[in-house]
Amino acid sequence: MLTKVDLNSFESKLLDRRVQIDKNLRGTALELDEMRDLELNDEGDFAAASAETIVDSAILIQQRKELNEIELALDKIKRGSFGICEMCEEPIGRARLEVKNFARFCITCREISEKESK
Ligand SMILES: [Zn+2]
């Protein structure tokens, strides 16, 4: 089981990550505004800018998703269910949590759910 010290360390990692993503999302929003200005000035740049916008928005969607997962994980820390697999209710391995702080399933359940979704 995870100790209080472990939980605190995961919580601060999650909070750091949330700050980072917040910053990224805000930065991207600013860039998109700048692109909209560009768009009015130069048609050639606009084509290049749109391609970048598509890549940016894929990243944006990915980061929003991650932000969601982080919120869920922080909530779980509060409720004391952090690090417990949502499917089998067994503890998720610490090594896995280190790699993916907001993991919701243990390795076994993750593999099962990936197989089922294919
Ligand atoms: Zn499980």
pLDDT of 1-58, one tens digit each?
789 999 999 999 999 999 999 998 888 777 767 776 765 555 566 666 677 777 778 8
Q: Where are the domains of the chain?
A: 4-117
Token pair of 54 as six digits: 């598509």
CA 17 vs CA 23, 42, 68, 80: distances in Å:
10, 37, 12, 20
Quote the tokens at residue 88: 């089998």
Please state the pTM of the whole predicted model. 0.76
Rounded CA separation 103/110 (Å): 9
Q: How much distance in Å is there from the Cα of 92 to the middle of ligand 1? A: 7
CATH number for the segment(s) 4-117? 1.20.120.910
Residue holding tokens 């919120």? 71
DSSP code of 52? H
CA of 62 to the centre of ligand 1 (A): 24
52: which 2 tokens? Answer: 């970048």
CA of 114 to the centre of ligand 1 (A): 13
Q: How far is the CA of 109 from the centre of ligand 1 (A)?
A: 4
